[in-house]
Amino acid sequence: MTSLDGLDELYKEVILDHYHHPRHNHDLPEADVSSAGYNPLCGDEMFLQIKLREGKIEDIGVRGKGCSISQASGSMMAEALVGKSLDDAKDVIGAVRTLLEDRDGRPVASRDAQETLGDLEALSGVRNFPVRIKCALLPWTTLEEGIMRYEEKHAGS
């Protein structure tokens, strides 16, 4: 179990809520995209599936094991990406990567970015804990790899 000590109270609350009540925590039969990821630093595991419909993410299935930050991040990701196109999903993945890796201590955001990121903003608290960044990023990098493989396979079709 991860200690969330040092995280802002509000962020902690959001993360624990997603950890205890994970969204989209189910398998997806007939998924179009499947991807598994592992974070050896912490032992977190993530198995993700996407069902596409007319170019949009109709549903995401998130199965994982590991610390509260990795699992909460997966839950938040599913919630944020359902209904989006794969291109939009990649934009959000990029925004989260920036959010987590921008360690200058600047507050992330313009109000616009905060609105786009919603609950995901809670992940920004993890920036100050380098070991935890890999936990928070795991679902995002796992999904990104899955999308890339899917697009390679379907390129030119």
Strands 33-39 and 44-53: antiparallel
Identity of the residue, 4 or 67, whose beta carbon is nearer to Zn ion in the bound complex:
67
Counting every residue written for the chain, the total comes to: 157
Residue 67 binding Zn ion, by CB under 5 A: yes
Judged by CB under 5 A, the stretch of 7-15, 16-24, 35-43, 102-110 that binds Zn ion is: 35-43
Identity of the residue, 47 or 86, whose beta carbon is nearer to Zn ion in the bound complex:
47
Judged by CB under 5 A, the stretch of 36-44, 54-62, 80-88, 91-99 that binds Zn ion is: 36-44
Residue 15 binding Zn ion, by CB under 5 A: no
Token pair for 114: 């905060």
Residue 89 binding Zn ion, by CB under 5 A: no
CB-based contacts of 82: which residues, under 8 Å, 6+ apart? 24, 57, 58, 59, 60
Binder of Zn ion out of 4, 23, 44, 81 (CB under 5 A): 44
CB of 27 to Zn ion, least distance (A): 22
Residue 139 binding Zn ion, by CB under 5 A: no
Identity of the residue, 86 or 135, whose beta carbon is nearer to Zn ion in the bound complex:
135
Which element (helix H / strand E) includes 15? Answer: helix 9-20
Binder of Zn ion out of 100, 122, 123, 135 (CB under 5 A): 135
Token pair for 61: 């299935």
Burial of 104 (0-12, 13-18, 19+ CB in 10 A): exposed
8 A C-beta contact, residue 2 and residue 126 = no
* CA–CA distance, 8 with 127 (Å, rounded to integer): 12
Residue 123 binding Zn ion, by CB under 5 A: no
Residues that bind Zn ion (CB under 5 A): 42, 44, 66-67, 70, 135
